[in-house]
């Protein structure tokens, strides 16, 4: 068995590491899986000891629901933030391309003034708007949509938390356990 077999056998290839610190980075859904396993263990411990009350069941269900809600919100937020960053990078790349294009055009026509070169480019459809502007407008539209969606996921998670708190608060024993 080679080195890759050992690495794959220990599932090291399934981990993601933070570049600066080397710490393992867990996705929101990996964190959810861990929380859910811990809740399931707690449920089984209480059930096997005969100490599982209705309040415990509600508390564990509420904790599981909140863990899932958090995982969904965090997963959506991370994905939408990645989309926003890629769109910003694409616009920056287009701006850089436009700058290089202008510089090379001016070097190709050293006898023309800067205004004459720009006029020539514009007459042939090569201008800031055609190379950067229309992409920037589209990116900004998509960024706005992504931010709106991100805010909706955050609002949804808050509403779920509020609903869970209301259910817990309606049970006096649970309210005491959660300090509500």
Query: Which whole-number Å values give the CA distances from 92 to 9, 100, 127, in the listed order?
Result: 42, 12, 16
pLDDT digits (tens, 9 = 90+) for 121-141: 999 999 999 999 999 999 999
Question: Between residues 7 and 79, which one has the greater pLDDT?
Answer: 79
Q: Three-state SS string across 34-64, please?
A: HHHHHHHHHHHHHHHHCCCCHHHHHHHHHHH
Crossing angle between the packed helical segments 28-49 and 54-108, to the nearest 10 degrees: 170
Contact 44, 113 (CB under 8 A): no
| pLDDT above 70 as % of the chain | 82
**pTM exceeds cut of 0.85:** no
pLDDT digits (tens, 9 = 90+) for 12-70: 445 555 667 766 667 777 777 777 888 888 878 887 888 888 777 888 888 888 888 99
Average pLDDT taken over every residue of the chain: 83
CA pair distance 101, 124, nearest whole angstrom: 14
């Amino acid at each position: 068995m080679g080195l890759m077999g050992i690495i794959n056998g220990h599932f090291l290839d399934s981990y993601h590491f933070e570049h600066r610190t080397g710490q393992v980075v867990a996705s929101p859904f990996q964190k959810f899986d861990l929380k859910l396993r811990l809740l399931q263990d707690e449920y089984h411990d209480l059930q096997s000891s005969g100490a599982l009350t209705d309040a415990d069941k509600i508390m564990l269900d509420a904790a599981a629901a909140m863990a899932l809600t958090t995982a969904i919100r965090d997963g959506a937020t991370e994905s939408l933030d990645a989309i926003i960053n890629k769109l910003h990078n694409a616009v920056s790349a287009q701006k850089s391309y436009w700058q290089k294009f202008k510089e090379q055009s001016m070097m190709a026509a050293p006898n023309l003034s800067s205004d004459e070169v720009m006029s020539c480019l514009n007459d042939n459809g090569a201008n800031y708007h055609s190379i950067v502007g229309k992409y920037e407008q589209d990116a900004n539209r998509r960024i706005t949509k992504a931010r709106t969606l991100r805010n909706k996921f955050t609002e949804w998670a808050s509403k779920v938390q509020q609903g869970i708190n209301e259910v817990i608060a309606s049970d006096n024993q649970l309210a005491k356990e959660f300090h509500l």
